[in-house]
Chains A and B, each alone.
Chain A
Amino acid sequence: MKHALKPSQYLILIAVMLTASVGDTLLSRGMAQVGAVDLHHLPLLWKALFNPFVISGIVLLIGFFASYMTALTWADLTFVMPATAFGYVVVALLSRFWLHEHLSVYRWAGIALIVCAVGFVAGGPSRTEHEGEHPELNLMDSGTGR
């Protein structure tokens, strides 16, 4: 029942952890520069697409999307989910050790909880195997179907 992930698959999961959190941080910084958008000022969203922080955020989120989708082809959604949550831990640790911000007890507790969650899920199988489901057969099916 234990899963055996290849080194390349671990790399994909690490990319999932890093790109989403850093991308979101860039986006929020960019949107703070753009200003408040409401229903009467929707064109501001278009303007946001030209902000450098928003652009780099989008690039990272595309990278996230690609690695996330790759992971979903060999792992369960509920297996990959804690990996995305680990991004919060990365951001918190970066702000602590790189920006030397103070982390409250709450934040350390949050970090511990998410690390535990990743541990729980990583200890189990990465994929629910459904009966009658076989990757090779699926590939052949999709090939003949087109």
Chain B
Amino acid sequence: MIKTTSILHAWTAIGGVAALAVVGEVLIAAAMRQLGDLDRIRERSGLPGAIRAVLSSPVFLAGALCMALNFFAMLYALSIVDLSLAAPAIASLTYVGNAVAAKLFLHENVDRRRWLAVLFVCVGVVLISR
């Protein structure tokens, strides 16, 4: 009984961390895509200008908030779940979620080689963490 609740607890934490990561990364990717080449912005208006350009994007701020929450959720998850389970589980879920979200919301051309890459990365991450 105690064990089942803790397993549920662990996977809720893992799922929550992954979901926050996906939302955060998609928002940040959308903001960056909107912004254009950051190297070119830096050439024109220097590092402060590039930082200002990034920070003035509301989409970026929303994404950064998600990533900050993700960071603390991750610290929390690592304290209740073994790193050897949490790290590959979170990473795999995040990769799959990112690919789906990038296709749906960012309209990226996720072709066969990218789906294959997502699959390989997921299996690879699980194997490498054994």
Contact = CB atoms under 8 A, between A and B. Distances in A.
Interface string B19-35: 00000011011001111
B7 interface: no
Contacts of B34: 138, 142
Interface residues of A, number: 55
Interface in A88-111: 88-89, 92, 104, 106-107, 109-111
Contact of A72 (B32, B67, B79, B121): B32
B37 A135 contact: yes
B38 A109 contact: no
Contacts of A113: 120-121, 123-124, 127
Nearest to B26: A77
Nearest to B53: A142
B87 interface: yes
Interface of B: 25-26, 28-29, 32-41, 53-54, 56, 67, 71-72, 75-76, 78-80, 83, 87, 91, 95, 98-99, 102-103, 106-111, 113-114, 116-118, 120-121, 123-130
Interface of A: 8-9, 24, 27-28, 31, 34-38, 45, 48, 61, 65, 69-70, 72-74, 76-79, 81-82, 85, 88-89, 92, 104, 106-107, 109-114, 116-118, 120-121, 123-125, 128, 130, 135-136, 138-139, 142, 146
